């Protein structure tokens, strides 16, 4: 069995940023395990621009953004293994992986960072009636086919779901000469960024139908048409609102789910995001196992993934150097979700060992206008910020200062809420 200070599972934007940060924090014995044939993760197929505005103060494509981090990993000579699938992690941080060159091998790590990213929900999760014809793809699969494999999945397209990948693929398919007939969204609001709705749909006159879903898929060998209908506030189709579109392709952009199988194998507790519950150091309930990026919760900007992963790498380095400090954390304070807040990351904080300031990320439950982001430490309000518009598709964040919570008692809580004055 090989021993290693830090094992990072995933060589996408989160894994790369975590490795660089851990290395710069003093940990040199690092191993990145990546199941694909190249580093960079999902960014390799995201050839559109819009990446890097926060991190590099310039607009980059996905591969350009990834290459900057890959170059930093290569400069530091951080070890990585490609084509390597991790198949098990134990609570005592023993990692079991497999690849064609070495077969099955074991690594005993002092710390592990989970950075496996997320996956798309499939048609099977939606229970849409109809046969199982060719021509039904998840939006991410279609993106890979067009951008990396050089295939056009279809010429007449209907898209279900208005997540960012679905919106971007509406524009991409249009560029390639396909006709995107409609984007249907079950919710009364879009799941994507506002800028993507404008740049990918409005600019190309592609209709977005909110509170609509697919109720039937026609075609036996290949998709020949799709029927959509308006839904009521319980999600049930409204009779008489059906519309049928002839098409040869249906793209599904119906949500992303953190890749959590390995997390569960390690005994990591999962939260409402289907990702791990973490504390102020992005450490899970299993000591020495950290999580960051889309495996923790789905981000809207890769810049935030890199920032969060950098912090996870730094935290893992501190754990390796001073495990005793992490064992004796002092009192734990819960962060509760108040009105209009779906979740927060982190979920708990330890004022005694936290840094002077940490970033708390959160999402709302619906679209709201003219509300205030408030954070309470016990009875005292410590954050008060006006938000003209908030939406589930756009992540919010604020800085939580140690100074504001250091005097809290164990039974007191931190509450985050969106409230009207």
pLDDT tens, position by position, 341-355: 999 999 999 999 999
Gyration radius from the chain CA atoms: 22
Where do we find the tokens 């100074």?
403
Distance CA 312, CA 195 (A): 29
Global pTM reads 0.94
Using the predicted structure, report yes or no on whether residue 229 has a pLDDT greater than 80: yes
**Per-residue DSSP letter, 237:** B
pLDDT at 1 over 90: no
Q: What is the pLDDT of residue 328?
A: 84
Is a pLDDT exceeding 90 seen at residue 169? yes
DSSP 364-410: ESS-EEEEEEEEEETTEEEEEEEEEEE-TTS-EEEEEEHHHHTT--T
Residue 36, token pair as written in the block: 């694909």
Q: What are phi and psi of 140, to 5 degrees?
A: -65, -40
Q: What is the DSSP letter of 200?
A: I
User: For 186-204, how does the pLDDT look when each residue is reduced to its tens digit (9 = 90+)?
Assistant: 999 998 888 999 999 999 9
Instruction: Using the predicted structure, report yes or no on whether residue 220 has a pLDDT greater than 90.
Output: yes
Q: What is the mean pLDDT of the chain?
A: 95
Nearest of 193, 138, 198 to residue 169 by alpha carbon: 138
More confident residue, 124 or 290: 290
91-141 pLDDT, tens digit per residue, is 999 999 999 999 999 999 999 999 999 999 887 777 788 888 999 999 999
pLDDT of residue 411: 86
Predicted local distance difference test score (pLDDT) of residue 126: 78
CA distance 278 to 61: 31
End-to-end CA distance of the chain: 60
Q: What's the angle, vertex CA 195, arms to CA 194 and CA 197, rounded to 5? A: 65
pLDDT tens by residue, 308-335: 999 999 999 999 998 877 888 889 999 9
Structure tokens at 374: 């408030």
Dihedral sign (CA 149, 152, 153, 157): positive
Lowest mean pLDDT among 172-181, 289-298, 404-413: 404-413
Q: Give residue 17's pLDDT.
A: 98
Asked whether 163 and 191 are in contact (CB, 8 A), the reply is yes
Mean of pLDDT values over 256-277: 94
Q: What is the pLDDT of residues 17-58, one digit of tens each?
A: 999 999 999 999 999 999 999 999 999 999 999 999 999 999
pLDDT at 177 over 90: yes
Confidence of residue 172 (pLDDT cuts 50, 70, 90): very high
Mean pLDDT for 211-236 is 95
Output the pLDDT for position 90. 95
Read off the pLDDT of each residue in 159-183 and give the average, rounded to a whole number: 96
pLDDT score, position 132: 85
**Distance, C-alpha 71 to centroid of its chain:** 23
CA distance 67 to 73: 10
Where b means 16+ CB within 10 Å and e means fewer, 144-165 reads bebbeeeeebbebbbbbbbbbb
């Amino acid at each position: 069995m090989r021993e290693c200070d830090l094992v990072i599972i995933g060589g996408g934007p989160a894994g790369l940023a975590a490795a660089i940060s851990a290395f710069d924090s003093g940990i040199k014995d690092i191993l990145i395990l990546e199941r694909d044939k190249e580093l960079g993760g999902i960014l390799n197929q995201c050839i559109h621009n819009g990446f890097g505005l926060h991190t590099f103060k310039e607009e980059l494509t996905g591969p350009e953004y990834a290459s900057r981090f890959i170059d930093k990993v290569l400069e530091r000579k951080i070890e990585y293994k490609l084509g390597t699938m991790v198949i098990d992690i134990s609570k005592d941080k023993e990692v079991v992986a497999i690849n064609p060159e070495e077969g099955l091998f074991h690594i005993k790590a002092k710390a592990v960072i989970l950075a496996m990213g997320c996956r798309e929900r499939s048609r099977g999760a939606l229970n849409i009636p109809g046969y199982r014809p060719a021509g039904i793809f998840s939006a991410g699969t279609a993106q890979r086919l067009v951008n990396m494999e050089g295939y056009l999945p279809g010429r007449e397209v209907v898209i279900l779901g208005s997540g960012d990948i679905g919106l971007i693929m509406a524009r991409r398919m249009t560029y390639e000469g396909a006709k995107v007939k409609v984007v249907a969204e079950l919710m009364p609001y879009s799941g994507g960024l506002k800028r993507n709705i404008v740049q990918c749909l409005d600019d190309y006159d592609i209709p977005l139908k909110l509170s609509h879903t697919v109720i039937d898929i026609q075609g036996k060998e290949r998709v020949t048409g799709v029927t959509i209908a308006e839904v009521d506030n319980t999600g049930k189709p409204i009779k008489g609102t059906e519309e049928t579109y002839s098409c040869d392709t249906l793209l599904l952009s119906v949500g992303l789910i953190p890749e959590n199988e390995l997390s569960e194998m390690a005994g990591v507790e999962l939260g409402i995001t289907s990702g791990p519950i973490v504390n102020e150091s992005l450490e899970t309930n299993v000591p020495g196992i950290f999580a960051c990026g889309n495996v923790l919760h789905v981000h809207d900007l890769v810049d935030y993934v890199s920032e969060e992963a950098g912090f996870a790498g730094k935290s893992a380095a501190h754990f390796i150097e001073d495990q005793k400090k992490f064992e004796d954390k002092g009192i734990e304070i819960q962060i509760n979700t108040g009105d209009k807040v779906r979740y927060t990351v982190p979920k708990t904080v330890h004022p005694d060992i936290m840094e002077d300031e940490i970033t708390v990320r959160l999402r709302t439950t619906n679209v709201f206008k003219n509300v205030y982001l408030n954070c309470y430490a016990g009875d005292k309000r410590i954050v008060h910020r006006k938000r003209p518009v908030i939406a589930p598709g756009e992540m919010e964040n604020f800085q939580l200062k140690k100074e504001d919570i250091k005097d809290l008692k164990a039974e007191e809580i931190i509450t985050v809420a969106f409230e009207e004055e």
